[in-house]
Amino acid sequence: MAQHPPEPFRIKMVEPIRLIDSAARENALKKAGYNLFALKAEDIFIDLLTDSGTGAMSNRQWAAIMLGDESYAGARSYFRLDEAVNDIFGFEHWMPTHQGRAAEGILSAILVKEGNYIPSNMHFDTTDANIRSRGGRPTNLVIDEAYDPANMHPFKGNMDIAKLKAFIEEIGAENIPFGMMTVTNNAGGGQPVSMENMCAVADVYKSYNIPFFIDAARYAENAYFIKMREEGYAEKSPTEITQEMFALADGMTMSAKKDAIVNIGGLLCMRDNDLFVQAQNELIMREGFPTYGGLAGRDLDAMAVGLREGLEESYLAYRLNQTAYLNDLLIDVGVPVIQPAGGHAIYIDAGALLPHLSHAEFPDQALAVELYREGGIRGVELGSVMFSHEDPDTGEMVYPDLELVRLAIPRRTYTQSHLDYIAETMSKIVKRADQIGGYRFTYAPQFLKHFTAKFEPL
Ligand X SMILES: *Cc1c(COP(=O)(O)O)cnc(C)c1O
Q: Which is nearer to ligand X, 95 or 217 (CB)?
A: 217
If one asks whether residue 118 binds ligand X (CB under 6 A), the answer comes out as no
**Binding-site member from 54, 58, 126, 130 for ligand X (CB under 6 A):** 126
Give the residue closest to ligand X by C-beta. Answer: 100
Beta-sheet pairing, 117-120 with 137-140: parallel
Q: Which listed range, 121-129, 191-199, 242-250, 386-394, lies at the site for ligand X (CB under 6 A)?
A: 121-129
DSSP letters of 397-442? Answer: EE--S--EEEEE--TTT--HHHHHHHHHHHHHHHHTGGG---EEEE
Report, in Å, the least distance between residue 264 CB and ligand X: 8
**Binding-site member from 89, 117, 124, 233 for ligand X (CB under 6 A):** 124
Name which of 210, 211, 218, 192 is nearest 121 in CA terms.
192
Residues forming the active site: 72, 124-125, 215, 217, 258, 450
Name which of 178, 260, 177 is nearest 216 in CA terms.
260
Q: Which listed range, 6-14, 152-160, 250-258, 302-310, lies at the site for ligand X (CB under 6 A)?
A: 250-258
Q: Which is nearer to ligand X, 43 or 125 (CB)?
A: 125
Report, in Å, the least distance between residue 234 CB and ligand X: 26
Beta-sheet pairing, 454-457 with 397-398: unpaired
If one asks whether residue 257 binds ligand X (CB under 6 A), the answer comes out as yes
Applying CB under 6 A, the site for ligand X has a residue count of 15
Report, in Å, the least distance between residue 337 CB and ligand X: 19
If one asks whether residue 4 binds ligand X (CB under 6 A), the answer comes out as no
Q: Which listed range, 7-15, 251-259, 289-297, 299-307, lies at the site for ligand X (CB under 6 A)?
A: 251-259
Instruction: Tell which positions 62-101 bind ligand X, by CB under 6 A.
Output: 99-101
Report, in Å, the least distance between residue 97 CB and ligand X: 9
If one asks whether residue 289 binds ligand X (CB under 6 A), the answer comes out as no
Largest CA distance in the chain: 60
First to last CA, the chain: 39
Q: Which helix (H) or strand (E) holds 319?
A: helix 313-332
Q: Which is nearer to ligand X, 52 or 58 (CB)?
A: 52
**Binding-site member from 157, 179, 251, 266 for ligand X (CB under 6 A):** 266
Helix (H, G, I), strand (E, B) or coil at 337: strand
**Binding-site member from 54, 182, 191, 339 for ligand X (CB under 6 A):** 182
**Binding-site member from 58, 121, 127, 130 for ligand X (CB under 6 A):** 127
**Binding-site member from 43, 69, 160, 215 for ligand X (CB under 6 A):** 215
3-state secondary structure 88-109: HCCCCEEEEECCHHHHHHHHHH
If one asks whether residue 276 binds ligand X (CB under 6 A), the answer comes out as no
Chain Cα centroid distance, residue 48: 13
Give the separation between CA 147 and CA 124, rounded to whole angstroms: 16
Give the separation between CA 96 and CA 99, rounded to whole angstroms: 9
If one asks whether residue 255 binds ligand X (CB under 6 A), the answer comes out as yes
**Binding-site member from 75, 217, 341, 371 for ligand X (CB under 6 A):** 217
Chain Cα centroid distance, residue 247: 22
Q: Which helix (H) or strand (E) holds 381?
A: strand 380-382
Report, in Å, the least distance between residue 127 CB and ligand X: 6
Contact pattern from residue 36 through residue 65 relative to ligand X, giving x for each residue in contact according to CB under 6 A and a dash for the rest: ----------------x-------------
Give the separation between CA 318 and CA 306, rounded to whole angstroms: 16
From the number of C-beta atoms within 10 Å of its C-beta (0-12, 13-18, 19+), residue 315 rates as buried
Give the separation between CA 310 and CA 218, rounded to whole angstroms: 9
Name which of 115, 145, 147, 154 is nearest 131 in CA terms.
115
If one asks whether residue 186 binds ligand X (CB under 6 A), the answer comes out as yes
If one asks whether residue 156 binds ligand X (CB under 6 A), the answer comes out as no
If one asks whether residue 108 binds ligand X (CB under 6 A), the answer comes out as no
Share in percent of the chain as helix, strand, coil (round to 5) = 45, 15, 40
Q: Which is nearer to ligand X, 215 or 301 (CB)?
A: 215
Name the residues that contact ligand X, by CB under 6 A: 52, 99-101, 124, 126-127, 182, 186, 215, 217, 255, 257-258, 266
